[in-house]
Structure 1
Amino acid sequence: MTSRIAACCCGQLSIEVQGETLGAGVCHCLACQRRTGSVFAALAGYAAPWKVNGTATEYVRTGDAGASFRFCFCPVCGSTVFHTEEGNDGCVMVAVGAFADPAFPPPQDSVYECRRHAWVQLPEGIARYERDPD
C-alpha cells in the first residue's frame, strides 16, 4: 500500500497517510485564506488509518454549515499540516503543500468560488462550487 508523509516546515510535526487520496481540492473561503496566508487552501483527503508524529497545537473552527473542524499545526514553526472534522473520525484532510511534492495530482474541485481571487487560474474540467457543496 502506498504511503505519504506530510510535515511542517521545521519537521517537528508530521502525518503519514496510507493509500490513494479520497480526493483533492482547493478552498477559497476567507477563513482558509487567513489560515494559510495564501489566496486558497489546497487539501487532500485520506481515509484512516494515519499516524501523527510530534506535537500539534489545535484550533477548532466552526464552518458555515455548523461543522467543527480541528486544525492541527506545529507549535514551533506554525505550519498547518492537517485537519479533521469532528464526528468524522474516518477521514483526515492534509495540506497538499506539506507533502512538498510538486508532482502531487491536481485538485478535482474548487469550493467557495465566490471568494476566489479573480487572477487565480485553475485546471480545466475542475468542479466549481460557489460555496461548500455539503
Structure 2
Amino acid sequence: MSGKTASCCCGQLRIEVQGETLGAGVCHCLACQQRTGSVFAALAAYAAPYKVTGTATEYVRTGDLGAKFRFRFCPVCGSNVFHTEEGEDKYVMVAVGAFADPDFPAPQDSVYECRRHAWVQLPEGITRYEKDPP
C-alpha cells in the first residue's frame, strides 16, 4: 500500500492517507468557491483509516441535500486540508492542492456545473453533474 501526505502551507496540519484514491473531482458550488478562494474545489477521496497530525480548526456546513460536512483547516496559515461527512466514517476528502503534487491525476467528476465559471476548461470525458449527484 502506498501512503501520501497532504499538509497545509506552513506544515503544521497534516493528513496521511493510504492506498489509491477512491476518486477525484471538482466542485463548483458557491460555498466551495468561497471556502477555497478559487473558482472550484479540487478534492480526492481516500478510504479510512487515515492519520492526522497537528491542530485543526473546524467549520461545519450543511450541504444542499442536508448532509453535514466538517471542514478542517490550519489555524496558523488558514489552508483548507481535508473534510469529512458527518455520520460517514469510511472515507475522507482531501484537498488535492494540499498534496503539492503537480502529477496528481485529473478529476473524474465535476459537480455543480450550474455554477462553473464559463472559462474553466475540464478534461474530456469527465462526468458532469448539474448539481449534487444522486
TM band (smaller chain): over 0.9
Report the counterpart of residue 98 of structure 2 in structure 1. Answer: 98
CA RMSD of aligned residues (A): 0.4
Report the counterpart of residue 132 of structure 2 in structure 1. Answer: 132
1:1-134 matches, cutoff 5 A = 1-134=1-134
Distance in 1, Cα, partners of 2:126 & 2:13:
31
Tell me by how many angstroms 1:42 deviates.
0.1
Distance in 1, Cα, partners of 2:100 & 2:85:
24
Quick one: which amino acid aligns to residue 18 of structure 2? Q
Tell me by how many angstroms 1:128 deviates.
0.3
Unpaired segments of 5 or more residues in structure 1? none
Distance in 1, Cα, partners of 2:17 & 2:11:
16
Distance in 2, Cα, partners of 1:47 & 1:123:
25
* Aligned residue pairs, count: 134
Tell me by how many angstroms 1:100 deviates.
0.1
* Percentage of matched positions with identical amino acids: 84
Distance in 2, Cα, partners of 1:47 & 1:53:
17
User: TM-score w.r.t. structure 1 length?
Assistant: 0.99
Distance in 2, Cα, partners of 1:55 & 1:90:
22
Unpaired segments of 5 or more residues in structure 2? none
Structure 2 SS opposite 1:26: strand
4+ residue segments displaced more than 6 Å = none
Tell me by how many angstroms 1:91 deviates.
0.6
